[in-house]
Structure 1
Amino acid sequence: MKIISMIPARYSATRFPGKLMQDLEGKTVISRTYEAAVATNLFDDVLVVTDSAVIYDEIVNNGGKAIMSIKEHDCGSDRIAEAVENLDVDIVINVQGDEPFTDSESLRKLIEVFKEDENKNIDLASLMVHITKIEEINSPNTVKVIVDKANFALYFSRSVIPFPRDKSVDVKYYKHKGVYAFRKDALLDFYHLPMLSLEASEKLEQLRYLEYGKRIKMVETDVQGVEIDTPEDLERAKKLWK
């Protein structure tokens, strides 16, 4: 299988505009993320795909590889699909541009999912982290996922799922980490299918896959990392980097 990593990178962000170009201990956030993906040595290629000339120049001028989006896109999967449509590739790993702490072990687990899936029953795979802090479980900025017995995703939500009506039941809560591994065909299907109501309501692109019957295999990881969504997250990332 030919496996590549693509990093979707928008300059504008609702909560923290320009966050990917912020300094993270001497290099920009997007450069740190790109270098982390390359350093795993798991991919045949690593590319940033962006709508921003500023981000494109940042990567290319520092020796990396980047692609400019031709169209406007609502989500990272659409941006990646456009970029890979004419590429000879089997599996595409989507690493979020605001996650500079992406680790090789978690990505290796995602790749193994497809190597073991001989019948091609899995359309895409993604990561989840067990969470216990009440404020994180309740936060709409934390995307939760619930899974079946085989760890296939049942639903993703910004709300608390499952709702703890019976507090005596021992329920584990999982945070969805926005790192995806796609079969190319599933990614292109997504690109050509219109957004439906669940995705539009929650503003979570992964719901489009579920609404159209795609199977998402979730892989548990212990690596929490830091997703840089706010200036406060950036300060936490700086401390962690040190």
Structure 2
Amino acid sequence: MKAIGVIPARYGSTRFPGKPLAEINGMPMIQHVYNQVKKSNELFDVVVATDHEMIRDVVQGFGGNVVMTSVHHETGSDRIEEVTSLVDGDFFVNIQGDEPLIQAELIDAIVREAKHSKNELVITAKTLIKDLEDIDNPNIVKVITTPEGKAIYFSRSKVPYNRSGIMHSYYKHLGIYGYPKSILKKFVNLQPSQLEKVEMLEQLRLLENKIDVQVIETTYDAVGVDTPEDIAKVEKVLGGLQNV
């Protein structure tokens, strides 16, 4: 099984235009992400998928692989599906371009799970929510699964609602996905589903169309960059890691 790591990098962003090129400790964010992903032992190759020449030039400048994709894609999944026509592979891992601290170990775990499932499932990840305020935060997507790890539902709401008051753990869904090539092509050609439009979560389109999603658990918790103010948070974490 040939696994390809794909980092979608869109230039246009309402809250943070040119975000992939924002400097973190003097290095473009897209380079931080690329360097982290390249540490993976399970990926056959890593490629940045962008819609802008400036990002292409920066990636080529630091020696990274990059492909130009359409400016009309609405989601990262749509962009990665185009990559499947440009790069040879069987399993494509969608790695967020605004997570400069992404762990190669998580990527490797997703690829190993795909190999274990004979490349027949979509694979994603969850992590235990430790800050109780995050449970009610609609910007933190929650996931519930079967005991075997199959996704039952993703929601911005607090799921499940704990009416009984018994001890229960809540899990945050991490925005990393691994797709078999055939399932990805099927997925992007499906019409947005009703629950997807209500929650504004495209992964619900998979569940509503009876496409199984396997969820692995990790201790990694994403530190994403959504606004310019988030740069300082990442630099603080990087500073702490360098001092260890």
Aligned residues: 239
After TM superposition, the structure 1 = structure 2 runs for residues 147-186 of structure 1, keeping only pairs within 5 Å, are 147-166=145-164, 168-186=165-183
Correspondent of 2:218 among 218, 221, 224: 221
Decide whether the 8 Å contact of 2:43 with 2:111 is kept in 1: no
Q: For residues 54 and 203 of structure 1, do their structure 2 counterparts lie closer, same or farther at Cα, with a shift above 3 Å needed?
A: farther
After TM superposition, the structure 1 = structure 2 runs for residues 74-89 of structure 1, keeping only pairs within 5 Å, are 74-85=74-85, 87-89=87-89
When normalised by structure 2's length, the TM-score is 0.92
Q: Please name the residue that 2:20 is paired with.
A: 20
Q: What's the CA shift for 1:71?
A: 5.1
Overall identity of the aligned pairs, in %: 38
Q: What's the CA shift for 1:158?
A: 1.3
Q: What's the CA shift for 1:78?
A: 0.7
Paired residue type of 1:42: E
Paired residue type of 1:235: A
After TM superposition, the structure 1 = structure 2 runs for residues 1-242 of structure 1, keeping only pairs within 5 Å, are 1-70=1-70, 72-85=72-85, 87-118=87-118, 122-166=120-164, 168-242=165-239
The whole-number CA distance in structure 2 between the counterparts of 1:88 and 1:21 is 27
Q: What's the CA shift for 1:182?
A: 0.9
Q: What's the CA shift for 1:100?
A: 1.2
The whole-number CA distance in structure 2 between the counterparts of 1:209 and 1:55 is 30
Which runs of 5 or more residues in structure 1 are unaligned?
Answer: none
Residues 10-48 of structure 1: CA deviation (Å, up to 9, x unaligned): 122233333222111111111110111112233211101
Residues 197-220 of structure 1: CA deviation (Å, up to 9, x unaligned): 222222212111111111000000
The whole-number CA distance in structure 1 between the counterparts of 2:10 and 2:110 is 24
In terms of mean alpha carbon deviation, does 152-161 or 109-118 score higher? Answer: 109-118
When normalised by structure 1's length, the TM-score is 0.93
Root-mean-square deviation over aligned CA pairs: 1.6
Decide whether the 8 Å contact of 1:131 with 1:174 is kept in 2: yes
Kindly report structure 1 stretches of 4+ aligned residues shifted beyond 4 Å.
none
Residues 145-198 of structure 1: CA deviation (Å, up to 9, x unaligned): 1111111111111111112223x2111111111111111111111121111222
Decide whether the 8 Å contact of 1:85 with 1:188 is kept in 2: no
Residues 79-130 of structure 1: CA deviation (Å, up to 9, x unaligned): 1001113543111111110111111221121111122124x5x421011110
The whole-number CA distance in structure 2 between the counterparts of 1:234 and 1:71 is 25
Paired residue type of 1:173: Y
The whole-number CA distance in structure 2 between the counterparts of 1:133 and 1:63 is 39
SS in 2 for 1:4: strand
Paired residue type of 2:213: I
